[in-house]
Amino acid sequence: MGTIYFLPLLLAYLGLVKLLRYARSKSFAQRFGMLDRASYARLSAPEAQIILKDLKELEFPKFMGFSIIFVLFKTYGIPSISSLLVSTGQLSDTKTVSKRTADTALSRMNYLHSKYQKAGKISNDDMLYTLSLFALEPIRWIYLYEWRRLTDLERCACGTFWKTMGNDMHVSFKPFPSYRRRELRLAMGFPPAPRSYHVVIHALLQLRTYAIRYFFFPRPELLRKVYTASEYLSYPRYVRPTFGRRWGPQSWIPRLFGRKLPGHGGNSYQPEGFLFEEIGPEDFLGKGFKEMEWERHRMLEKKRDGCPLHT
């Protein structure tokens, strides 16, 4: 008798999951009036940012985050970029590598980059290559590892948002750099991983894909991923040492491998947080406030309506 009730309930559950799972991706077109490919030319940067925000916080909170970390890692395979980071000490110490992952704010970033651009240590090609990775790597990771692929509109939002970022960073999009494609593993000097690793990890990620697609309801607004420093690489920079972060399930793996936990080292990892005006290498601490304010006003005065690819 139990089977008679179980099967209809299971089918109803799976049907409801499928209905709700794809509802958000379909809603973007209705929200912004982007009903065909020709209408994508009207997509503005603020609209693109809303789409990417929902993708990061609700649709793909795990692998969109991983892809951004991998972008930073991938840039280190370019000699001109890695040599600069080594010379500034941002790669020679694992503590500053973790810090670089957490540091980001546009006007401050422009100020920090400007010093190295004037010195000829950062080229436009380096900037453009890095920018293209931020636009393309999340699309690639979602294609490979997430429960669905991005729609055409969502991919357009990626291009629109990062084109706007490039404009605000004074990046020239002509000509596009042509880097020799070299396997990142070779550039980093890592040995090849055993084939069994690829098989096992690919199988586990495929299981995750199918489980989320067919059995899990979409993440509700209530669980929207909040941008706090709750995740970190080697060192818990800017992470508050709450009881959950020190003793909860997310602390088990770091403990197992002997990694630092929030609260270790007293205030050396700045658990109190940071101000955008202070991010960057320590040599720039307390500098550039006037330049940042000028840059912020310049960006605020720019029009944000309309597609940056058609202006």
CA proximity to 68, closest of 116, 135, 163 = 135
Instruction: Assess whether 128 and 251 both reside in one domain.
Output: no
Tell me, yes or no, whether 305 and 160 share the same domain: yes
Together in a domain, 86 and 209:
yes
Structural domain includes residue 140: yes
Q: Determine the average pLDDT of the residues in 39-45.
A: 91
Q: Which two tokens stand for residue 213?
A: 């697609």
| CA angle centred on 71, ends 262 and 251, rounded to 5° | 20
Whether 233 has a pLDDT exceeding 50, the answer reads: yes
Q: How confident is the model at residue 26 (pLDDT cuts 50, 70, 90)?
A: very high
State the Cα–Cα distance between residues 202 and 196, nearest whole angstrom: 10
The amino acid sitting at 113 is H
- In tens, the pLDDT along 92-137 reads 555 555 555 554 467 777 887 888 888 888 888 888 988 999 999 9
Residue type, 255: R
Between residues 185 and 277, which one has the greater pLDDT?
185
In-domain check, residue 20: no
pTM of the model: 0.75
Does residue 157 sit in the same domain as residue 213? yes
Q: Which of the pair, 183 or 210, is modelled with greater confidence? A: 210
Predicted local confidence at residue 33, as pLDDT: 92
Same domain, 184 and 242: no
| Nearest Cα residue to 161 out of 143, 134, 187 | 134
Q: Give the pLDDT score at 94.
A: 56
**Is residue 234's pLDDT more than 70?**
no
Q: What is the pLDDT of residues 237-285, one digit of tens each?
A: 677 777 777 888 777 777 777 777 887 777 777 776 666 556 666 666 6
What total of structural domains would you count in the chain? 2
**Calpha distance 203→198 (Å, rounded):** 8
Burial class (CB in 10 A: 0-12, 13-18, 19+), 220: exposed
Provide the CA 122 distance to its chain's centre, in angstroms.
Answer: 22
| pLDDT (0 to 100) of residue 141 | 95
What's the domain range around 195?
A: 29-229+285-310
Contact status, residue 270 vs residue 238, Cβ threshold 8 Å: yes
pLDDT band at 162 (very low <50, low <70, confident <90, very high): very high
What pLDDT is attached to residue 302? 67
- Strand, helix or coil at 31? helix
- Distance between CA atoms of residues 264 and 258, nearest Å: 12
Instruction: Please indicate, yes or no, if residue 1 is contained in any of the structural domains.
Output: no
Report the pLDDT value the prediction gives residue 103, as an integer from 0 to 100: 47
User: Do 110 and 35 lie in a common domain?
Assistant: yes
Average pLDDT of the segment spanning 33-44: 91
Q: What is the pLDDT of residue 16?
A: 95
The answer on pLDDT for 57 being more than 70 is yes
Do residues 201 and 119 share a domain?
A: yes
pLDDT of residue 150: 96
